[in-house]
Amino acid sequence: MAKLTDRRHRITLMSEAVSIGAGGRSVVTTPLIGDVWAAVSAHGSHLTMRGGRQTDPTQVSFTVAYVPEYLSTKSIKFKSLRYQVKSWRRTHHLLDEITFETSQIEGQMEGAVP
């Protein structure tokens, strides 16, 4: 259970929508659900290597306040990285919360030069 004061990181919750684009192809978009405050817990045994240094965790837990609309979250943006939601659990302790278990989506850095 995260305390309210642990929610000091700003994250973006996104859902996933599939539509038919030009030429009849399926197009996947990620509409925004909202920007929320979250408690972030990185799993330290899974870190990416950049320039010989361990930097960004590849598996992260995000804990946010419970809002029914948040249950449709498919990906989360945090520090210019996108994380895919693998599972979620709802807790009913002192605060009603949702914890998303995620893993980093490979090759999804904003501003990266190909």
- Residue 113 inside a domain? The answer is no
**What gap in Å lies between CA 74 and CA 76, rounded to an integer?**
7
The residue among 29, 38, 50 whose CA lies nearest residue 10 is 38
At residue 10, does pLDDT exceed 60?
A: yes
Work out the percent of the chain whose per-residue pLDDT is above 90: 54
- Residue 114 inside a domain? The answer is no
Report pLDDT for 49: 57
Burial class (CB in 10 A: 0-12, 13-18, 19+), 64: buried
Report pLDDT for 82: 92
Query: What is the model's pTM?
Result: 0.77
Nearest 5°: phi and psi at 22? -60, 140
Instruction: Lowest mean pLDDT of 17-21, 42-46, 51-55, 95-99, name the range.
Output: 51-55
- Residue 38 inside a domain? The answer is yes
Where would I find the beta strands (DSSP E) of 43-95?
47-50, 53-57, 59-65, 75-78, 81-92
| CATH number of the domain bearing residue 97 | 2.40.10.270
- With cut-offs at 50, 70 and 90, classify the pLDDT of residue 112: very low
- Residue 75 inside a domain? The answer is yes
* Total domains in the fold of the chain: 1
**Which residue range(s) make up the domain with 80?**
4-108
